[in-house]
């Protein structure tokens, strides 16, 4: 009986090479951590050179991109869409949490809490988080499919 040929499509798991999955996951994690550092740098750079709405809303989008990179680092086998959905849901949850006094109180006590949680609800932020999730998902999808790249890890099942 002939063996099943392996798929040239990196999005389809290769049953003949399950031992490579941990290596791919480790590479994806490392790339996600590097992307997180670049995203933080981009956010700080944006704050240094821009003011007003560009700095604020660009920072909102980058906040969700950062969350997406952290999701990928934690779960490298997630599809770009799932990772972006988790990042977006987290961003929105934190924004809606700002309708309570908790983030404002924590922000008064800690710079880190202010950076992570914010302090006041702002409805337009919700749209900019979606922009960041969409952009991050698109970039992540493109990187997973680029020629010559390491094969993408198999998508996780729900």
**Domain boundaries defined on the chain:** 20-145
Q: Which helix (H) or strand (E) holds 35?
A: helix 21-49
128 by Cβ neighbours in 10 Å (0-12 / 13-18 / 19+) ranks as buried
> Cα angle vertex 100, ends 43, 119, to 5°?
25
The pLDDT, as a whole number, for residue 32 is: 96
- Mutual orientation of helices 21-49 and 52-74 as an angle, nearest 10°? 170
| Global confidence as pTM | 0.79
> Cα angle vertex 111, ends 107, 116, to 5°?
70
Largest CA distance in the chain: 69
| CA dist., res. 13 & res. 52, Å (int) | 46
Locate all alpha helices (DSSP H) within 50-147, ordered by sequence. Answer: 52-74, 80-97, 102-109, 111-117, 123-145
The pLDDT, as a whole number, for residue 24 is: 84
The pLDDT, as a whole number, for residue 45 is: 96
The pLDDT, as a whole number, for residue 3 is: 47
The pLDDT, as a whole number, for residue 8 is: 56
Task: Divide the 158 residues of the chain into consecutive groups of 10 and give the mean pLDDT of each group.
Answer: 51 55 86 96 95 95 98 96 98 97 94 91 97 97 73 54
């Amino acid at each position: 009986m002939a063996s099943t040929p392996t798929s040239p499509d990196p999005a389809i798991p290769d049953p003949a090479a399950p031992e490579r999955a941990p290596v791919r996951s480790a590479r994806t994690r490392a790339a996600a951590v590097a992307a997180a550092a670049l995203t933080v740098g981009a956010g700080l750079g944006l704050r240094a050179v821009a003011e007003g709405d560009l700095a604020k809303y660009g920072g909102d989008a980058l906040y969700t991109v950062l969350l997406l990179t952290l999701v990928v680092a934690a779960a490298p086998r997630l599809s770009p869409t799932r990772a972006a959905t988790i990042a977006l849901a987290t961003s929105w949850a934190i924004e809606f949490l700002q309708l309570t006094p908790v983030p404002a109180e924590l922000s008064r006590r800690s710079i880190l809490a202010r950076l992570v949680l914010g302090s006041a609800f702002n409805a337009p932020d919700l749209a900019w988080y979606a922009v960041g999730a969409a952009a991050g998902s698109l970039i992540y999808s493109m990187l997973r499919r680029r020629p010559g790249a390491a094969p993408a890890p198999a998508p996780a099942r729900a």
